[in-house]
Structure 1
Amino acid sequence: MDRLTEMEAFATVVDQGGFTDAAKKMGISKSAVSKHISSLEARLGARLLNRTTRRVSPTEIGLAYYDRARRVLNDAGEADALVTSMQSAPSGLLRISVATDFGVNHLSPVLGEFLRQFPDVTVNMVLNNRHVELISEGFDMAIRVGAPEGSPLLSRKLTETAQRMVASPGYIAAYGRPSRIDDLNDHKLLHYSNLDSGNVWRLTAPSGEQRQIRTAGWLSVNDGQSLLNAAISGLGIAYLPSFLCAEALAKGLVEDAMPDLPPDLQGIYAVYPPGRFTQPKVRAFVDFLEAAFRDKGPLEW
């Protein structure tokens, strides 16, 4: 007889407290349940059940076997559920957290195509500039810039961006172009106030040396688009991701203030909670984004 069916019959008898109820639970005859148990005990060479006219209970050996058997049966059930889930069509509410600048400029424009491809999915996209706690705050996934080092979350790299130091042609004409990192101390710097590093730009010199420049004092904003607008209007030099400033660079509204600096490349990742399997709606969206951004970055946006 099938070993897993024997195991299921035994566990069900223990769960239900008898052969009659176990047979009803499994949808087979009482005699079939009895044959499965007899075959299992014969194969193991041990009595697993105490049988009386009034009740059935596991022996000491049977109780130990039941614990292991129930784990095996639960794992088998989860394996079946995994296959079913992975083949099911994506559906339901997909709640996403994404940084405002990337969400407005690059995620929003592609959402329509995703929803057309998967009409049974609804999307709630939350724009914010902080790392939300996905599980406790009820998010299915997030799009984040920078490698998720030390995070228990699962992640998939979608593309890359590069930090660019930009200023308007008018600003460069009025104040000159910095030729060395130290020259930035004499310039008007526009700072993104939500940086993990605080009021500091961490830069790599052409020699490869890592440098830090303090940026507080002229203008600090917690929104990248506002900093780009300030740079375009000639207020100073901003240090921005290429996914935000590439179009302004292409149109000549700003230019690279220090083109000799090595690009600071950062990955853009889809992150989602770990689990035994990924929900179809999450898997479908991550696959979609990977294809949508395949030809993007790190400088071309």
Structure 2
Amino acid sequence: MSILVTGATGTLGSLITHGLASAGADVTALVRTRGKVAFPDGVTEVVGDLTDVPSIRAALASARTLFLLNAVTPDEVTQALIALNLAREAGIERIVYLSVIHADRFTNVPHFTGKHTVERMIESLGIPATILRPAYFMQNEFMVQKTIQDHGVYPMPIGAAGVAMIDARDIAEIAVAELLRRDRAPSALDTVTLDLVGPQAVTGASVAKVWSTALGREVIYAGDDVAAFEAQMAAFGPSWMAYDMRLMMAGIQTFGMQATEGTVARLEAILGHPMRTYEDFVGELTTKG
């Protein structure tokens, strides 16, 4: 029996797949197209789509444990509920689900409320799971690195409430630890929810200072204009996603993205090492650049 990883070719899914393989786990990677990426030894590809019931049913037939990651799409909730129902049908009692921090607070943001709906399904059906609730990924900065470096402007309107950004590598390591813990347990474990945050809360102004130090020249924060942000996003992608991201940024400005006291210490105990800082992440980017 294997650990089935959905979203296995994406940033987070590929890190998890490699981490599980390195730990000697039997891993099945759900892909839409075979051979798209090079997986390590111990990983078996299975072609499927989360909206194609026969393919997911077949993929789950040989799985004991499921990592469920749903991309931000208009049918995200449908995909997740189908996958969880089919996992329950297959008798799977070891699940790690990727949600988002404050899923219950950002009630007007479509993909937040969608993930909260899935969390409520897990709770109402008593599905044994670890619910991972990450804050804003540091790797999202890849999208704006060129703007920062070429124009000296940090354009993401994250405001001043404080966002405890987290490195996707730390998320992946925690996901791997939870998948292995559940997969290797003799029976189903109790459901737990983990807020995943970085070791410090940053703001638009403090992020600009980090980039200024790393680049050796001034970088300014572009400000809190979410309408302008939506327009920029819509120039590169679908309008529904641009609006979703606008609502998320407005929520971040209002609520921030921070966890309760003791969360970082708990996460570092799982990791076995300090969490990566935003300064470390930017230092890596600018060194490579």
TM-score under structure 1 length normalisation: 0.29
Bigger radius of gyration, 1 or 2? 1
Q: Which structure shows the higher helix fraction?
A: 2
